[in-house]
Amino acid sequence: MTSDTLLAALDLPTSSRVDQRVPKKLLLENGAVTAADKRHINEGVEDLLWLAVLKPATVGVPEYRDDVREYLEIAVLRLTLRSAAKMPRLVELLHRAIPYPLLLLTERGEWSELSAAHKRWSQGEAGKAVLEGDVVAVEWDAKRDGERWPAFHNGLALGRQPRTTLYALYQGWIDTLLALTAARMTGVFAVATNAEQATTRHDALRECARLDAEIARLRAAAARERQMARQMELNLELKRVEAIQVAVRTKL
């Protein structure tokens, strides 16, 4: 599935479309933190296209302001990467570089991903917006997720998102991405119905990822271990962590 399919699912109004190419120079100037980042951008980015801008005037949703953040518009961009690109880092750099909340479609060959990340005011630099928390990213896997496509497609549509403010609208897209990630574990696609449920799911998904890494580490260590007593200890620890993971998944 290409990013065009995901873009169509968003069902953005024509009034919001921009469709302008963003020079790589701007990403280098605003997104590169280190020399390695500049190399990743130069070697990994094929193209960057500004697809749409969602403002009160283009989507009929009020802006949002408080002491923590200011959401005057949401940017929608498409990032096309080369085959050897350092994808997670480049996605994070782009979310950091764009001063507005960003809905990013990333494609590399036949592979595509949709990502979002909240932003807040920097506490150390006046007027500068920084990422708040992790980038929430979901790659589309047609083989694994094909049966969930109708529900995910419907969940992505702009008209299905909250319309009280641009912040709420953006959170709606994040909740939809998290719903797909959770559905891969539970078998059921269901978008969170309130903020508390969304936060609980997000925390549980982060914990599941941490536990997955710990389970993989313990399995590898047990496979390498030659002392029977130590191998038994590792297997007991593995069962304990797997039990914790089962409990955490109930929160999804």
Encode pLDDT of 124-159 as tens digits. 777 788 999 889 999 887 778 888 889 999 999 999
Q: How far apart are CA 131 and CA 177, in angstroms?
A: 18
> What integer pLDDT is reported at residue 87 of this predicted model?
84
Q: Flag whether pLDDT at 109 surpasses 90.
A: no
> What integer pLDDT is reported at residue 42 of this predicted model?
87
> What integer pLDDT is reported at residue 143 of this predicted model?
79
Q: Flag whether pLDDT at 31 surpasses 90.
A: no
Q: What is the mean pLDDT of the chain?
A: 91
| Percentage of the chain modeled with pLDDT above 90 | 65
Q: Flag whether pLDDT at 1 surpasses 70.
A: no
pLDDT confidence tier of residue 173, bands split at 50, 70 and 90: very high
pTM of the model: 0.89
> What integer pLDDT is reported at residue 106 of this predicted model?
95
pLDDT confidence tier of residue 62, bands split at 50, 70 and 90: very high
Mean pLDDT calculated for residue range 230-249: 92
Nearest Cα residue to 131 out of 95, 106, 105: 95
> What integer pLDDT is reported at residue 48 of this predicted model?
93
Q: Taking the chain, what is the end-to-end CA distance rounded to the nearest angstrom?
A: 26
> What integer pLDDT is reported at residue 175 of this predicted model?
96
b/e string for 136-163 if b means 16 or more Cβ within 10 A? Answer: bbbbbeeeebeebbebbeebbebeebee
pLDDT digits (tens, 9 = 90+) for 185-226: 998 999 998 989 999 999 999 999 999 999 999 999 999 989
- The encoded tokens of residue 81 equal 């990467």
pLDDT confidence tier of residue 24, bands split at 50, 70 and 90: confident
